[in-house]
């Protein structure tokens, strides 16, 4: 892509439908659309409620939204510092190669550094070679000594006696 103006801005409440569309497009790419149960109402509460659970930046090309990144903060007891966790990064297929994905990662890296974070983490599906290559080209390294575990909503309910 040539002659494109990249910009990144914080998401606003009126972006909720756009964010949900991006989430669905990401899920389509990851072959996980059947798992998307997010709603506009739920996103509005999570992103713009009294106690935000996550934050979103919108990536634009020539003023048109073409991608997003959703992130939140965790805490590393070993580092004694917060960490920025990138939950989702998505650029519309027609805009890949524009530099927008890299610009959003760099934006978050600067934010994490400026806010005193000890690291920035994310996960990638093991079959997603284009994304793996992209991240490694930025200098990211795969974590191999940890295995991820998850309790889904059903398991949480069982554990909590519900």
In the chain, where the domains are located: 6-159
Identify the bridge partners of residue 71 per DSSP, sorted by sequence position.
Answer: 55, 86
Each residue's pLDDT tens digit in the chain (162 positions)?
A: 557 899 999 999 999 999 999 999 999 999 999 999 999 999 999 999 999 999 999 999 999 999 999 999 999 999 999 999 999 999 999 999 999 999 999 999 999 999 999 999 999 999 999 999 999 999 999 998 888 888 888 999 999 998
Classify domain 6-159 at the CATH superfamily level: Gcn5-related N-acetyltransferase (GNAT) (3.40.630.30)
- Residues serving a catalytic function are 135
pTM exceeds 0.85? yes
Segments of the chain assigned E as strands? 6-10, 55-61, 64-76, 81-91, 119-122
């Amino acid at each position: 892509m040539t002659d494109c103006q990249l910009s990144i801005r914080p998401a606003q409440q009126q972006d909720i439908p756009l964010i949900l569309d991006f989430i669905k497009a990401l899920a389509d790419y990851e072959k996980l659309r059947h798992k998307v149960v997010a709603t506009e109402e739920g996103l509005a509460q999570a992103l713009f409620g009294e106690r935000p659970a996550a934050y979103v930046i919108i990536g634009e090309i020539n003023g048109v939204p073409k991608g997003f990144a959703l992130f939140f903060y965790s805490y590393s007891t070993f580092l004694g510092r917060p960490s920025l966790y990138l939950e989702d990064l998505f650029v519309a297929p027609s805009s890949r190669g524009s530099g927008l994905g890299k610009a959003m990662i760099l934006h978050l890296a600067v934010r994490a550094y400026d806010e005193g974070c000890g690291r920035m983490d994310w996960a990638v599906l093991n079959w997603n070679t284009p994304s793996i290559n992209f991240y490694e080209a930025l200098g990211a390294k795969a974590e191999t000594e940890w295995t991820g575990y998850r309790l889904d909503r059903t398991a949480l309910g069982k554990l909590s006696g519900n």
